[in-house]
Amino acid sequence: MAKIVLGLGTSHSPLLVLGGSQWALRSLDDRRNKALNTLDGRLVSYEQLVEERGEPFGRQSDPAGFPALAARAEAALDHLAAQLREAAPDVVLVVGDDQGELFSPDNFPAVAVYRGEEMVMKPAEHLQGMPPWADLGFWAGYRMDLPHRYPGVPGLATELIEGLIREGVDVTSCAAVPDPAQRGFGHAFGFVIQRLMKGLQVPMLPVMLNTYFPPNTPTAARCHELGAKIRQVLEASASAARVAVVASGGLSHFLCEEAFDRQLIEALQSGDAQVLRSVPQQALLSGSSEIRNWITVAGAASHLRHHFTDYLPVYRTPAGTGIGLAFMSWR
């Protein structure tokens, strides 16, 4: 049987690639954003946000404090990378979301498992609508500067697909990246390779959720169930692989909803499935939708004990736009 020996969760925000001295660049994007998602599912402009909430985060959004937050985030990432290396897995199973890199709105599966011999990253030069600060050096932080190639794990991935089908989870099977200029793997997976694996020569098993693009986004309950069934299928596998499962993305953004994040973190730490399964769909929109990846990994790693958490509520503007950066492990 394959065995899940480690669970990790990490944000993969552009802030973690830009560095603290550049975080203020994102605040300019926030102020131009006309579709900031609230927890009740509404879309508001920055001006509307100020009308509703005022600007209570002037001190927290002072750019002078960003380098210290960035240093703390880097320390948390180093800690997760060390735990991954110490666990010495045979496979790294990453639950991530695709944002138009491998799939498109024309054909977007709710859940997909990749069973190809190798993963190929999509170079950012082929992405549309990128901000001017996202240069080639930035995309290297996501391994999207070139069509980098990394080993997959086709045998175990095929077992996972077949097992999930038997367990009543209909999944899409993906087997190749024929032309990375058209379609390839994106930042959710490249960030884990670049920042957590850090040269660790271990194949990756990508599980992709449609978090961003309704109407076929899985519910929180379905995500937790999927995680539990991933573990069940792996444990019934003929493989003897040691597996690390990683949630890539999250938490709340592009509004930093600190109280919401902290309630979620408490449930992730304690394994409170009821709270995790009851997160409403309207709270899982835009960037906050990546919380689904964490809920899935929590379901897969429910037999492990919480080991480490760091959480950084980042307020980029006085009105409270920003992100909840989170880092967690179960062992």
Q: What is the 3-state secondary structure (H, E, C) of 228-289?
A: HHHHHHHHCCCCCCEEEEEEECCCCEEECCHHHHHHHHHHHHHCCHHHHHCCCHHHCCHHHH
Rounded to two decimals, what is the model's pTM? 0.96
pLDDT score of 185 more than 80 = yes
pLDDT score of 129 more than 70 = no
Query: Quick one: pLDDT at residue 21?
Result: 86
- Extents of the domains making up the chain: 3-330
**Cα distance between residue 63 and residue 22, in whole Å:** 9
Q: 12, 15, 10, 9: which is closest to 322 by C-alpha?
A: 15
- Here the tokens at position 52 are 């509703």
**Cα distance between residue 53 and residue 45, in whole Å:** 12
Query: For 187-210, how does the pLDDT look when each residue is reduced to its tens digit (9 = 90+)?
Result: 999 999 999 998 899 999 999 999
Which burial class, exposed, middle or buried, applies to 200 when counting CB atoms under 10 A from its CB (0-12, 13-18, 19+)? middle
pLDDT score of 7 more than 90 = yes
**Cα distance between residue 178 and residue 176, in whole Å:** 6
Amino acid at the residue 224: H
pLDDT confidence band for 115 (50 / 70 / 90) = very high
pLDDT score of 11 more than 70 = yes
pLDDT score of 176 more than 70 = yes
Query: Quick one: pLDDT at residue 128?
Result: 67
pLDDT confidence band for 126 (50 / 70 / 90) = low
CATH superfamily, domain 3-330, is LigB-like (3.40.830.10)
Query: For 237-246, how does the pLDDT look when each residue is reduced to its tens digit (9 = 90+)?
Result: 999 999 999 9
* Averaged confidence pLDDT in the chain: 95
Query: For 77-87, how does the pLDDT look when each residue is reduced to its tens digit (9 = 90+)?
Result: 999 999 999 99
Query: Quick one: pLDDT at residue 203?
Result: 98
* Spatial CB neighbours of 63, under 8 Å, sequence gap ≥ 6: 23, 24, 27
- Here the tokens at position 272 are 């409170």
Query: Quick one: pLDDT at residue 64?
Result: 95
pLDDT confidence band for 271 (50 / 70 / 90) = very high
Query: For 20-33, how does the pLDDT look when each residue is reduced to its tens digit (9 = 90+)?
Result: 888 988 888 899 99
pLDDT score of 69 more than 80 = yes
Query: Quick one: pLDDT at residue 284?
Result: 97
Query: Quick one: pLDDT at residue 94?
Result: 98
